[in-house]
Structure 1
Amino acid sequence: MRSLYLIRSHGQVGLDGEQVVVRCNQEELERVPLPQLDQILVHGNLQLTTPLIRACLERQVSIAFFSQSGWCQGRLHPIDKGYRNRMRHQQMLNLQERQVAAMSLIRGKIANCRVLLLRLTRRQRREEVSNALQRLGWLLGKIKGSITPERLRGLEGNAALEYQRALGVLLDENGFIVQGRQYRPPTSPFDALSSYGYGVLGASLQTLLELHGLDPYEGVLHVGSARHPALVSDLIEPFRTLLVDPFNVWLIRTGRIKADDAFEHRDGGVYLGDTSRRLWMKAWAKHMAEEVQLASNRRGPRWELLDELVRSFVRFVYDPTGGLTVPQRR
């Protein structure tokens, strides 16, 4: 089963027998067999026909509507669709199984940190970055076997510090100072960019978790609370350096976001201004709609990377021995 992402500013999506058909200006653009789908995610102003909606409800296919930047605006669920047993399986994961998933997520995050730094310094690499790459490789090698959750959090924290120091060296000439993680409230322009991007991505992840019948508040690494969806914080880790940070660096290096005029200081923090938020959202929607190579050996929008990780976690919930597949930058 797979998700169908509909990312267009306009068009019509209908049903032809067992096929979901996407059209724009009377031209057929795509056909997907409905029996292969378990959810349809609509990004943009497309019109879904009533026969298609009824067929989805009859076949237990959920439909979710998103803004182009990824905010979920609402969902259509069949009345009898539910994943209560899936949540029970999730809650039954023991400490060792949760640790296996957490290690995979942190390994993915650190690996993505290294590859991003390597890509940003292909032409010229300063000594501080070379040293950080060596230490990140060493920390990555330490995440193996049976280590305690506390030890894993310590390794993740050290890796984040090394990565942010190196990134700060690379962005200093653009006027952005990277001092470490400070998001509540953000105290620097780069913290403001990161906080905003992680928030948008986290909202999209939480929606996917709920669509797949998982409990966003039942994590494997972070501790949840009534106001903290721990599983969202867990799964977002590898995407910080796979999706958000590279995108923010691109905005900075191309001059689309500047440290001296894109931010406002208020309430003890630093935040993106209204104009900058609109610019960020518009560019983010385009960035996430671009096609990339997916783990399933096909191409699809970057949004599907989130879906792949959530589906991998669903499989892990039912069979922890199969491990957790985490998207990594190559």
Structure 2
Amino acid sequence: MTVLYVTERGASLKVKHQQFQIYHNSEIQLSIPVNRISHIVLFGSCRLTHGAMSLALRRQIPVMFLSYQGRYFGRLQGKIAEIDYLQQQVKNSLNPEFRLRQAKSIVAGKLSNSWILLRRLNRYHQQTEVKEAIAQLADTINKIPQAESIDTLFGYEGQSARIYFQALGTLIQDPFQFTKRTRRPPTDPVNSLLSLGYTLVFQNLYTLIQAIGLHPHFGNLHTPRHNHPALVSDLIEEFRAPIVDSLVVYLLNSNIFIPEDFTAPDNRGGVYLQPSALKIFLKHWQTKLQSQITHSHTGAKVTYQRCLELQVWEYLTCVLGEQENYRPIQSKM
């Protein structure tokens, strides 16, 4: 199974003989069997024909709509939450002890993987600032089990994120500079790549959560609010450092991207990938998702894409009461 990305301006996604076909300037660019597609991502003004839309809905293939800059617009997805799961999710959302237990695991997973990535990247540099950040993250991780509220956990998470990103910036080589995390819009190339990567992981998890019948809006660390899929925001946390951040550092420090691959700041200060560079990013993105790691619970070799799916099932076992605490994956040194 694979993700179908459509990036060409003015391209059309059609269907014929149970195959999705991408047309651009009236010429077919790609044809791929429907049963090989897990979900579809359309960038910018790409067009989805009625036939392709109908088939995607019948086959329960989600379609995501992003701007050319990678900003999320919306999604087309037919499946809704399983009623038994939804009832249990609502019940759990009203249980402060359940929410706090899972929130502790989520924050611990995020900070632990951030800590491991900094240690891995700093192994040969031994920068003092990074060493101090690693020590501060370790200290905060040790405090998490004693946290008495979700607000306290948010405080730990926010403070640690600032420390982590400052340290990460010192590990990114010239000509790129990164001093802090900026969103909506991302104001430099590093933030642009981080935002795009986070958006793609977020939508991937959203698809997997709905595919097994969970409702994406009932989270634990993040609380339900209007039009916010809180559960997706919960489950993405452990994957930010090992999937997105590590890839971004690799792409920039390996000179795969240069400053000219990014747009000049727009009227809001936003910086984004050029269309040709977006294709390069997506190629490396798919390679990253298909790279293998040792799953920290099973000990089996799995791809990151499979790992995303396994973690959604892991959370379902907590929803159903089959285990008490959610277990995030933990990166290896």
Name the TM-score, length of structure 2 as normaliser: 0.75
Separation in 1 of the partners of 2:306 and 2:167?
A: 29
1:83 alignment partner AA: E
Is there any run of 5+ residues in structure 2 with no aligned partner, and where? 5-30, 43-52, 61-77
Equivalent residues of 2:261, 2:273 under 8 A apart:
no
Deviation readout 1:256-303 (Å, 9 max, x if unpaired) = 122354334224111222122111111111221223222333223210
1:85 maps to a residue whose letter is D
* Contact 2:3-2:37 within 8 A present in 1 as well: no
Question: How is 1:1-330 mapped onto 2 (pairs within 5 angstroms)?
Answer: 6-7=1-2, 45-46=32-33, 48=35, 65-67=38-40, 76=59, 83-93=82-92, 94-171=95-172, 173-268=173-268, 269-294=270-295, 295-319=297-321, 321-330=323-332
Quick one: percent identity of the two aligned structures? 28
User: Structure 1 residues 82 and 248, CA, compared in 2 at 3 Å: closer, same or farther?
Assistant: closer
Q: Is the 8 A contact 1:220 1:234 kept in 2?
A: yes
Residue in 1 that maps onto 2:18: none
In structure 2, distance between residues paired with 1:156 and 1:81: 31
* Amino acid of the structure 1 residue aligned with 2:259: A
Q: Deviations over 1:107-151 (max 9, x none)?
A: 011111111011111122111011111101001101013421111
Q: Distance in 1 between matches of 2:215 and 2:3?
A: 30
In structure 2, do the counterparts of structure 1 residues 140 and 75 end up closer, same or farther at CA, with 3 Å as the change threshold? farther
TM-score (norm. length: structure 1): 0.76
Residues 46-81 of structure 1 show CA distances to partners (whole Å, capped at 9, x for unaligned) of 464xxxxxxxxxxxxxx9632599xx965636x999
Alpha-carbon separation, structure 1, partners of 2:87 and 2:203 = 23
Corresponding residue number in structure 1 for 2:70: none
> After alignment, is 316-325 or 108-117 more displaced?
316-325
How many Å separate the matches in 2 of 1:267 and 1:183? 15
Q: Name the CA distance, whole Å, in 2 between partners of 1:92 and 1:128.
A: 45
What SS is found at the alignment partner of 1:131? helix
CA 329–97 in structure 1, closer or farther in 2 if over 3 Å, else same: same
> In the superposition, relative to structure 1, how do residues 146 and 165 fare at CA in structure 2: closer, same or farther (>3 Å)?
closer
More off after superposition, 146-155 vs 221-230 = 221-230
Cα displacement string for residues 36-55 of structure 1 (whole angstroms, at most 9, x for unaligned residues):
xxxxxxxx93464xxxxxxx
Residues 266 and 81 of structure 1: CA distance in aligned 2, closer, same or farther (over 3 Å): closer
Q: Which moved more, 1:80-89 or 1:244-253?
A: 80-89
Alpha-carbon distance between aligned partners in 2 of 1:82 and 1:219, rounded to the nearest angstrom? 14
Query: Contact (CA 8 Å) 2:223, 2:230: kept in 1 or not?
Result: yes
**In 2 relative to 1, CA 297–74 (structure 1 residues): closer, same or farther, beyond 3 Å?**
farther
Shift of 1:182: 1.6
The answer to whether the Cα contact below 8 Å between 2:2 and 2:38 also exists between their aligned partners in 1 is no
Q: CA RMSD in A?
A: 2.7
- How far has the Cα of 1:7 moved from its partner? 4.9
Contact (CA 8 Å) 1:66, 1:74: kept in 2 or not? no
Q: Call closer, same or farther: CA 1:68–1:289 in 2, change over 3 Å.
A: farther
Change (3 A) 1:151 1:75: farther
CA contact (8 A) 2:3 2:38 kept: no
> Matched residue of 1:66: which SS?
strand
TM-fit CA distance, 1:246: 0.3
Distance 1:95 1:320 in 2: 18
Give me the whole-angstrom Cα distance separating, in 2, the residues matched to 1:75 and 1:155.
44
Distance 1:146 1:170 in 2: 31
Provide the rounded CA distance (Å) in 2 between the counterparts of 1:164 and 1:111: 14
**AA matched with 2:289:** M
Please give the secondary structure, in 1, of the residue aligned with 2:233: helix
Contact 1:168 1:176 in 2 (8 A): no
